[in-house]
Amino acid sequence: MKRIFILTGEPSGDKLASTVISKINKTEFNIEYSSVGGKHLKSLGINSIFDLKEITYMGFTSVLFNIFKIKKKINETVEEIIKFNPDILFSVDSPDFTLRVAERVKKINKRIKTLHYVAPQVWIWREGRVKKFKNFVDHFLLLFEFEKKYFDKENIPNTFVGHPLLEQSKKSKIDLSSLINKDKKIISLFAGSRKSETNVLLPILLDFIKLMNIQFNNYIYIFHATDENKDLIISLLKKNSLDNVQVISDENIKSQILSSSIFAVAKSGTVSLEICNANVPSIIIYKINIINYLIMKSLVKVKFANIINIINDKEVIPELLQGECNAKEIFNSVNYFLGHPDLIKLQLENIKKTLKNIKSETPSTDKVSNILSQYL
């Protein structure tokens, strides 16, 4: 029986890995799995060696304060992988955790094949890392075609597989009339998946809603939550008397609500691609503590935070970062867009052109599952 150890570092990676494994299981039946994963892998009957929450830290200072815990978890993970003795170590995203583990595992057992899905963003910062990866990663699975040149330069096997968020998945239709008054227009809000992000962005977004409510009464605001931060959002909402705000964590319902939205305000990150793929106009917000920001600013070599803006080398989607990430600026930006349909049309046209250039013809997870099968 073949063995695969699945290594993730946060909920998005867990979700992505589960999609790939679901597809492998349709053609490969004699595989034993173990993982560092979450609820999505667990739903496939794959247990995690510890709770994913134990390694989900955000920002340089948070990592620094928890460095000994992280090192302990890296040691524990390496030990468990060596004990499990897999044919493949399949790591997904979270490179500062997953690739550190992969490097240690490869030093101990060179027989284990290491495949990494969602390559580190070396085009944003720390490009010099690529040389090091050659020693312990057998194959990189890339989200964007422009990433290839960085890995080709070092002769590291790689495949452009495309971004899974750009795949059109068929989901069952749900009647939203019981949740949302049809006379209300939906504005979707994304306050991040990590508690540290939510704690910073949620109060700002609630103040934004209060400003909107002074001027308008025809909008409903939906927070797209995860199982990890849903309770936190609800508890903070209870302290505010807002009757036109809802919190949804069901993936299928969230997808339909997003598609029905007239606008979205989202934390910078991969969710922005999901919003773009749903053809919904948006702005991006983000705020971290000043120390993390200054460290990041000194290391990052791109002008923008959002991938659509980075690819176009111009601000297609407005970014309100740090000092500009406040209720008044968000209110002004959203209002301006809603009052200028021509700007919304232009943004969506630019996004459509960009997505066309970065989409893979074959679904990303199909490509990844096929490549994994070849290594078994």
Mean pLDDT of the chain: 89
Give me the percent of the chain exceeding a pLDDT of 90: 65
Residue 62 has a pLDDT of 57
Residue 168 has a pLDDT of 63
Residue 372 has a pLDDT of 95
Please state the rounded mean pLDDT for residues 193-217. 92
> Cβ distance 221 to 246 under 8 Å?
yes
DSSP line for 231-267? HHHHHHHHTS--SSEEEE--HHHHHHHHHT-SEEEEE
Residue labelled with tokens 């099968």:
373
Please state the rounded mean pLDDT for residues 23-31. 91
Q: In this model, does residue 94 exceed pLDDT 50?
A: yes
318 pLDDT band, cuts 50/70/90, is: very high
Q: In this model, does residue 122 exceed pLDDT 90?
A: no
Q: What is the pTM of this model?
A: 0.82
| Cα–Cα distance for residue pair 191/203, rounded to 1 Å | 10
236 pLDDT band, cuts 50/70/90, is: confident
Q: In this model, does residue 58 exceed pLDDT 60?
A: no
| Cα–Cα distance for residue pair 242/206, rounded to 1 Å | 9
Residue 61 has a pLDDT of 47
Q: Per-residue pLDDT tens for 160-195?
A: 999 888 876 656 567 676 677 777 899 999 998 777
Q: In this model, does residue 350 exceed pLDDT 50?
A: yes
Beta bridge partners of 321: 286
Domains of the chain with CATH codes: 2-162+360-375 (3.40.50.2000), 185-358 (3.40.50.2000)
Q: Per-residue pLDDT tens for 61-80?
A: 455 556 677 789 999 999 99
Q: Per-residue pLDDT tens for 259-277?
A: 999 999 999 888 899 999 9
